[in-house]
Amino acid sequence: MQKFLFSPIEDHTYSIVGYEGDESDVVIPENYGGIKVTVICDKVFTGHSEIVSVTIPDTVTDMVWESLYLKAVIT
């Protein structure tokens, strides 16, 4: 199950601040509650060695590369 933790940003979008899922193929959502997800924060996937791929939508315009510090295919 994919479970993300979201935090609102001043520009009225959301950032992903955590991941509590257990999927090997993670798909970042384009929106949360109808509001765009635009940022992936630092160390979101730390400790998730099960992840082999991460799909990131075009709505994400900013991310900390350390948030994707894992051995995965990023699309």
pLDDT in tens, 9-26: 999 999 999 999 999 999
Burial environment of residue 12 by CB neighbours within 10 A (0 to 12, 13 to 18, 19 or more): exposed
Q: Is the pLDDT of residue 39 over 60?
A: yes
Query: Which pLDDT belongs to residue 28?
Result: 95
Q: Is the pLDDT of residue 58 over 90?
A: yes
SS3 state at 54: strand
Q: Which helix (H) or strand (E) holds 37?
A: strand 35-40
Query: Which pLDDT belongs to residue 67?
Result: 56
Query: Which pLDDT belongs to residue 47?
Result: 85
Mean pLDDT within 55-64: 91
pLDDT mean across residues, the chain: 87
